[in-house]
Chains A and B, each alone.
Chain A
């Protein structure tokens, strides 16, 4: 009887390993919005599809969409782990704690959480440095505005969003010192009607370039209707506003997903905090408007190139916060850690940052 138990134990340990070696690597994705949002979740799903294309039948992917950032998330992530997924990508800030909890329960699986800061042996984080793209769109917005008022539709006051607001404003003010950036918080990632309302509200207050950090193209549609400019977020939104579209800051997750899955397959993956931007090809500037002058166009191209080759960092000192306190000394770039925890507006922002 004892022998039998031991054999069973050995079998239980060895058999699944063999199974792993032969079966395709199972990769699970958790999305906060619908795949069809044509923004954030859509781009992650494009990355998933690229993964399938690249690895063929060596991977098997699953995704769960529309997962709310609460108790539901933990259940969903655990289910994916139970279903035998070897790698699980959770793609929204609010999935951080649920991912960390499930990662603890499944030490032999790899968890990757987008935009967060909690890591462990088997849980890494990844981020696209959207602020680089924001710096480009801020530059463009600062050049085209006539009212010198830019509008930013923001979701939640988390470092990722605050960073992007600051980058937008720094870039716009550098090229146009009179510029003002109005921020409206909509407290949601995806609600087309509310995003449209926010865009209209900003336009009523004199804004003539809309920048959004929410996921639907509703703001672009609203801008097109009123004949002003708008910047596309996460995916190429030019078709929603043929006239209004200034440029889109596009997340391309494919390179990162392919690289990471390869590392896990090879056993070389280590928990890290991955940041990829224009240089890595994770951030792309798409469909720049042909209504711009050659001079404006050149300025945008130069900005993209300078960020890409590292000669321009959006957050180089001296940078002061709203109270006038020096946060980044002259000549210094903000570190990853500082950027990851950014919770202050740069000097010159007129609105107050919600606490």
Chain B
């Protein structure tokens, strides 16, 4: 393999991993507050649809991104209304959100099928992109890839070092105890769910404005579900989410590249590779049960009704 090829593969890996990273980081925050939102796939589609329509009608990619994020937030607030305020079953509410989002995006977006926008293009960061090997991989990407990396740092620092992160984790551990300590449990859960919605909306906009600048029904093709699994396998740790997203990305790119080299391996087997590799590696990484338990939000999936 030549150096150029390796650079191409890794650069494509970043692109392939970005939608997963965005969704998974958002869902990680959401789940750390004790709320499991299975509606990622639906929210992502609504985000992709809204982002595309936004960019097409305003002629500005940035407004498209804003529309995608706003649509994601709106969807997630709908979920929060059911799962947090009304304390409905989180699993059922999340699944309903996916079904609703899939249908809604197809319905509203149907008039916009077949249009194209000039999507985000790569921006080489001066100086940094001249670094051999790493430069073209990390610093010659589109704006939303940079945004995803910034968001990773934000989430990481927030969870680890900020008071807000502490509150979030406390609510996710035991909402009763947090409530007894005077924390606004429902508000924190709302914010966490809303942040998850924003990130998933952004991931959707990334698909329809950067990855493949077009709108098509069902274009997320299961990425929302993969991201959901990623959060669990990464044992709710941002660093592992990042690692897992890119691992999945590189394996899915290799699945294509290796075939081009004429490797005599069944393509079905290669297609399994991303799932297999990601699961195996992340399960091996989290084989220490004590550490895993430390990061698992204990109240996940349980609705909380404040007792007065």
Q: Which residues of A contact B (CB under 8 A)?
A: 33-38, 65-66, 157, 182-188, 190-198, 200-202, 204-205, 216-218, 221-222, 239-240, 350-352, 354-355
Contacts and interface: CB of A to CB of B under 8 A. Distances in A.
B252 interface: yes
Contact of B259 (A34, A66, A183, A240): A183
B217 A34 contact: yes
Contact of A193 (B5, B16, B113): B16
A185 B267 contact: yes
28 contacts: A33-B218, A35-B217, A36-B106, A37-B217, A37-B218, A38-B114, A38-B216, A66-B217, A66-B218, A185-B267, A187-B267, A191-B222, A192-B214, A192-B221, A193-B219, A193-B221, A195-B212, A197-B256, A200-B8, A201-B256, A201-B257, A202-B260, A204-B257, A216-B214, A216-B219, A221-B213, A240-B214, A351-B262
Contacts of A350: 262
A196 B216 CA distance: 14
B114 A187 contact: no
Contact of A37 (B19, B213, B216, B256): B216
Contacts of B216: 34, 36-38, 192, 216-217
B116 A204 contact: no
B42 to A, nearest CB: 13
A207 B212 CA distance: 20
A267 B218 CA distance: 39
B266 A197 contact: no
B109 A194 contact: no
A198 B219 CA distance: 16
Contact of A198 (B214, B256, B262): B256
Interface string B197-223: 000000000010001111011110111
Contacts of A184: 256, 259-260
B256 A186 contact: yes
A194 B252 contact: yes
Tell me whether chain B's interface is mostly helix, strand or loop, or mixed. Answer: helix
B19 A193 contact: yes
Contact of B217 (A36, A185, A195, A355): A36
A193 B255 CA distance: 14
Interface string B281-306: 00000000000000000000000000
Task: Give the most central of A35, A198, A200, A204: most B CB within 10 Å.
Answer: A204
Given A190-B221, A216-B216, A239-B114, 20 more contacts: A34-B218, A36-B106, A157-B267, A186-B271, A187-B267, A187-B268, A191-B221, A192-B214, A193-B219, A194-B256, A198-B256, A200-B12, A201-B257, A217-B216, A218-B212, A221-B213, A221-B214, A352-B262, A352-B264, A354-B266
Contacts of A202: 260
B110 interface: yes
A279 to B, nearest CB: 29
B113 A38 contact: yes
Contacts of A187: 267-268, 271
Q: With a 10 A CB-CB cut-off, give which of B207, B219, B264, B266 has the most chain A CB atoms.
A: B219
Interface in B1-25: 5, 8, 12, 15-16, 19
A3 B211 CA distance: 71
B212, B216, B256, most chain A CB atoms within 10 A: B212
A352 B260 CA distance: 11
Nearest to B110: A36
A239 B211 CA distance: 18
Nearest to A201: B256
B231 to A, nearest CB: 20
B230 interface: no
A355 B271 CA distance: 14
A239 B221 contact: no
A218 to B, nearest CB: 4
Contact of A240 (B116, B253, B260, B268): B116
Contact of A182 (B113, B218, B260, B267): B260
A193 B259 contact: no
Contact of B260 (A190, A195, A201): A201
A204 B5 contact: yes
B262 A197 contact: no
B220 to A, nearest CB: 8
A190 B221 CA distance: 8
A191 B268 CA distance: 15
Contacts of B268: 185, 187, 354
Given A187-B268, A217-B214, A240-B214, A36 B259 contact: no
Contacts of B223: 193
A-B interface, 9 closest residue pairs, ranked by CB to CB distance from nearest? A34-B217, A185-B267, A187-B271, A191-B221, A36-B217, A36-B113, A218-B212, A192-B212, A201-B256
A197 B16 contact: yes
Given A201-B256, A354-B268, A196 B219 contact: no
A187 B265 CA distance: 13
Contact of A196 (B106, B114, B212): B212
B207 to A, nearest CB: 6
A6 B257 CA distance: 69
B266 to A, nearest CB: 5
Contact of B8 (A34, A185, A204): A204
A157 B113 CA distance: 29
Contacts of B262: 350-352
B110 A197 contact: no
B256 A34 contact: no
Contacts of A38: 113-114, 216
Contacts of B15: 197
A187 to B, nearest CB: 4
B279 to A, nearest CB: 18
Contacts of B252: 194, 197
B144 to A, nearest CB: 13
A187 B271 CA distance: 7
B106 A197 contact: no
B217 A193 contact: no
